[in-house]
Amino acid sequence: MMGLIKATHFGPTVLVVTISFLLSLTQFSWIGALQVACAILAGQCVVGWTNDLLDSQLDREALRSKKPLVSGLIGESTLKRAIGIALAVALALSLAGPLGIKGTLIHFLGILSATLYNFGMKKTIYSVLPYVVSFGAMPWAIYLANGKTPPVWIFLGFVTFSSAFHFLNVLKDFEMDVAQGVMGLPQRLGRRMSIACAVVLVIMGLVALTFGR
């Protein structure tokens, strides 16, 4: 169980699920918001587990001993089964909860986009695009399920802050990524330019949140 929890990328997953719950509270009852958050959690499990599964060889080469697959805390066959179960649970919870069909379709667009990142987009110049699509999809799924469109400032906030996270998140493994041929947009721009892009995106997000409201 601990291996599965760690493989979800626990910190970011908790943050995303919490944000989804708080945003859902603006549109649904607390029970409905909890249902949405559970559906998002299942989707995050799919994304996190797929990431660890597909990156297992790179993680071994980079000696990332804290990774569950590298440390032997969990096996690949177990992780594969868990991904299938989580995907089914994400679909069931999305359809059974307030997201409905429209919200579910957008939710799964976000899951697909994030999974495509794991399958190879992280190595391309378009590496930031899955962050834009996946995090931009969340407010649309929640608001559209309630017959509304999300305010522009909320959408821009999700997109800019998540994109900034992408540029910052790669810094800790920057040199190893380059050595292993993981050449996403931040790696192509370089460390300093990636930090600059993150700062600009955060400022844009703050401006959107401050003046958009």
Give residues with Cβ within 8 angstroms of 37, minimum separation 6. 17, 18, 20, 21, 24
The pLDDT of residue 22: 97
Residues 17, 128: Cα–Cα separation, whole Å: 21
- Give pTM, 2 decimals: 0.92
Q: Is 189 helix (H, G, I), strand (E, B) or coil?
A: helix
Based on the structure, what is the number of domains in the chain?
1
The pLDDT of residue 60: 87
> What type of residue sits at position 105?
L
The pLDDT of residue 5: 85
In terms of residue numbers, what domain contains 173? 2-212
Residues 5, 45: Cα–Cα separation, whole Å: 9
The pLDDT of residue 7: 81
Backbone angles phi, psi at 98, to 5 degrees: -70, -10
Q: Is 158 helix (H, G, I), strand (E, B) or coil?
A: helix
Output Rg (C-alpha) for the chain, integer angstroms.
Answer: 17
Averaged in consecutive runs of 10 residues, what is the pLDDT profile of the chain (213 residues)? Answer: 82 94 96 97 96 88 81 88 96 95 96 95 96 96 95 95 95 90 94 96 93 76
CATH number, residue 7: 1.10.600
The pLDDT of residue 122: 94
Residue 166 DSSP label:
H
